[in-house]
């Protein structure tokens, strides 16, 4: 397996509603890609901070009397969570997305099959892009790790 992208990052709440794109070359001869992605922490544990975030955000999405009713039961919205998701594009088209809530993910994309959310097909040579969509950062910091590797059939790295 050959590493094509390996990055780590640290995000703060100002990164919410943004995207981070990484471009990487895929050379002819690869049979598939493996994507490993993780981020931490997943949950905001501090109820006091969560209440302040809810008090700030809720009026942007609802009005009275719904707002008052919602704020009476604000704890039902807990725990607040960071959310980062992935999407993948080959040089010509969208190849899929992993809009999952799990903070630890592994995906495979090959000619004949692919992880749910991704499209199987040839590993088109050229510049591919993987995008980290930062939907929400509710903790003071959130770190992530992303690794994309290329593999060839018959080397023990293929799809099971």
Tell me how far CA of residue 137 lies from CA of 28, 106, 126, in angstroms. Answer: 38, 21, 32
User: Mean pLDDT throughout 91-110?
Assistant: 97
User: Structure pTM?
Assistant: 0.91
Question: Where are the domain boundaries for CATH 2.60.120.380 in the chain?
Answer: 2-43+81-151
The full 3-state SS of the chain, as one line of letters, equals: CEEEEEEEEEECHHHCCEEEEEEEEECCCCCEEEEEEEEECCECCCHHHHHHHHHHHHHHHCCCCHHHHHHHCHHHHCCCECEEEEEEECCCCEEEEECCCCCEEEEEEECCCECCCECCCCCCCEEEEEEEEEEECCCCCEEEEEEEEEECCCCCCCCC
Residue 14: which residues within 8 A CB-CB, separation 6 or more? none
The domain defined by 2-43+81-151 carries CATH number 2.60.120.380: yes
What pLDDT digit, counting tens, does each position of 1-47 carry? 899 999 999 999 999 999 999 999 999 999 999 999 999 999 999 99
Whose tokens are 């799809």? That residue is 159
What pLDDT digit, counting tens, does each position of 105-160 carry? 999 999 999 999 999 999 999 999 999 999 999 999 999 999 999 999 876 554 43
User: Mean pLDDT throughout 61-77?
Assistant: 95
Query: Would you say residue 87 has pLDDT above 60?
Result: yes
Phi, psi of 35 (to 5 degrees): -120, 125
User: Mean pLDDT throughout 39-65?
Assistant: 97
pLDDT of 158 reads 46
Residue 18 CB coordination number (10 Å): 12
Query: Would you say residue 67 has pLDDT above 60?
Result: yes
């Amino acid at each position: 397996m050959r590493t094509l992208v390996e990055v780590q990052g640290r995000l703060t709440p100002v990164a919410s509603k943004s995207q981070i794109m990484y471009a990487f070359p895929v050379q002819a001869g690869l049979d598939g890609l493996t994507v490993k992605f993780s981020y931490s922490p997943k949950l905001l544990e501090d109820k006091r901070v969560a209440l302040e975030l809810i008090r700030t955000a809720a009026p942007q999405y609802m009005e009275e009397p719904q707002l008052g009713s919602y704020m009476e039961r604000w704890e039902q919205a807990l725990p607040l969570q960071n959310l980062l998701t992935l999407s993948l594009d080959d040089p010509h088209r969208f190849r899929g997305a992993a809009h999952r809530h799990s903070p630890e993910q592994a995906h495979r994309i090959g000619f004949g099959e692919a992880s749910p959310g991704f499209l199987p097909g040839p590993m088109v040579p050229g510049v591919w892009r993987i995008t980290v969509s930062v939907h929400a950062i509710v903790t003071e910091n959130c770190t992530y790790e992303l690794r994309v590797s290329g593999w060839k059939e018959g080397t023990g790295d293929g799809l099971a």
